[in-house]
Amino acid sequence: MVYLDFEKPLADIEAKAEELRAMARKGEGAVDVEKEAAALDAKAQQMLGELYASLTPWRKTLVARHADRPHCSDYVQALFTEFTPLAGDRAFGDDHAVMAGLARFNEMPCMVIGHEKGNDTKSRIHHNFGMARPEGYRKAIRLMDMAHRFGLPVITLVDTPGAYPGKGAEERGQSEAIARCTMKCLEIGVPLVSVIIGEGGSGGAVAFATANRIAMLEHSIYSVISPEGCASILWKDAEKMRDAAEALRLTAQDLKKLDVIDRIIPEPIGGAQRDPAAAIAAVGVEIGAMLAELSGMKPADLIRDRREKFRAMGAHALAA
């Protein structure tokens, strides 16, 4: 388990409990070691619950980026069958930051598209840390179009720090690719549901999340800019990321109040990284529920629903 900085007190208690048990195994220590260890466990569990019940926006940002959090490929593997990856934009290359393909969700054929961050140095580099280049958006456009033609619902899993700020990505029309991908989302006459499973970073996230229904995991974030980026622009000091995270209202809870998202998916106590299987299962239930809400809708109605949803956004403010 990788502990975040703010989880340090928790880590200490858990280490202590482990130490006691190790002593007991070696036959040292007092008689009632297990009782004491269990007390520590209970204390740790309580602390974990309290910590995660009141995460600040910055702490949520850290949790959303946690390396042990389940990633797109974990969800695809657990929730879908017959996943058949489809590659390439037919123009330049294949973008490994975006995984996409045909699959079945509860037996129903569909198109699944998501950002994959990778989970060790090698795979993170392979997936470019989940930062798509123009080819990723163009692959998504191609596959959304295919889904539209064959009447397949589209499920997107968003987990990206943002679009890749690279020379080639800019030369090959990053902004145009994002704009077209957002537009494609608004054009397809099939259900489009989106789950923000970790980081919903700016334009790179919007390009996949212009959906009929949008859900966010409890401790995921969705923002116009990273707290660090915002802090360095508005505070002229990247170290003010805590203030920026606060001001940006990037938590699922605030976004739900603003009606930018439809659902919050509860995470296991201590975050998705502590019980990935439970988090993945919860996401599966919500995807099913969102698709059920849209089932039976005609293509034109699905398109209208999406456009009206986004046109209406910003109709109300947060309470002071």
Partner 1 sequence: MNWITNYVRPRINSLFSRREVPENLWTKCPECGTMLFHRELSDNLNVCTNCDHHLAITPRARFAALFDGGAFVEVKVPEPIADPLHFRDQKKYPDRMKAAQKSTGEKEAMLVAEGEMGRTPVIAVGQDFSFMGGSMGMYVGNAIIAAAERAVQTGKPLVLFSAAGGARMQEGILSLMQMPRTTVAVKMLKEAGIPYIVVLTHPTTGGVTASYAMLGDIQIAEPNALICFAGPRVIEQTIREKLPEGFQRAEYLLEHGMLDRVTHRKALRDELISILRMLTGQPAPTRADLPAPEPATTEA
Residue from the set 61, 156, 194, 210 that interacts with partner 1 by CB under 8 A: 210
Q: What is the nearest approach in angstroms of partner 1 to the Cβ of residue 67?
A: 20
User: Is residue 58 a contact residue for partner 1 (CB under 8 A)?
Assistant: no
Nearer to partner 1, 45 or 253 (CB): 253
Q: Which is nearer to partner 1, 44 or 209 (CB)?
A: 209
171 lines the binding site for partner 1 (CB under 8 A): yes
Pair 116, 71: CB distance under 8 Å? yes
Interface positions, 134-163, toward partner 1 (CB under 8 A): 163
Of 26 and 236, which CB lies nearer to partner 1 in the complex structure?
236
Compute how many residues bind partner 1; rule: CB under 8 A: 53
* Distances 240 to 193, 237, 312 between C-alpha atoms, Å: 34, 6, 32
* Nearest CA among 200, 216, 192, 119 for reference residue 163: 200
In contact, 142 and 102? CB cutoff 8 Å: no
Structure tokens at 85: 């990856």
| Cβ-based neighbours of 269, under 8 Å, separated by 6 or more | 45, 48, 49, 52
Is residue 234 near partner 1 by the rule CB under 8 A?
yes
Judged by CB under 8 A, which of 36, 243, 275, 305 binds partner 1?
243
Q: What's 132's DSSP letter?
A: -
- Indicate whether 212 belongs to the interface with partner 1 (CB under 8 A): no
Q: Name every residue whose Cβ is closer than 8 Å to that of residue 253 and which is 6 or more positions away in sequence.
A: 264
Q: What is the DSSP string of 96-122?
A: TTEEEEEEEETTEEEEEEEE---SSHH
Whether the Cβ atoms of residue 273 and residue 69 lie closer than 8 Å to each other: yes
In 3-state terms, what secondary structure has residue 86?
coil
Among positions 179, 238, 269, 297, the unique one binding partner 1 when judged by CB under 8 A: 179
Smallest separation (angstroms) from partner 1 to the CB of 241? 12
182: contact with partner 1 by CB under 8 A: yes
The reply on whether position 110 binds partner 1 by CB under 8 A is: no
Q: Under the criterion CB under 8 A, does residue 278 sit at the interface with partner 1?
A: no
Of 81-89, 147-155, 171-179, 286-294, the window that binds partner 1 (rule: CB under 8 A) is 171-179
- The nearest distance, CB 225 to partner 1, in angstroms, is 6
How far, in Å, are 45, 104, 113, 240, 250 from residue 64 at the CA level? 20, 27, 19, 19, 11
61 binds partner 1 (CB under 8 A): no
Given the complex with partner 1, which of 73 and 210 has the nearer CB atom? 210
**Residue 96 main-chain phi, psi, to 5 deg:** -80, -5
Residues that bind partner 1 (CB under 8 A): 163-167, 169-176, 178-180, 182-183, 185-187, 202-203, 206-207, 210, 222-225, 230, 233-235, 243-244, 247-250, 255, 258, 260, 307, 310-311, 313-318, 320
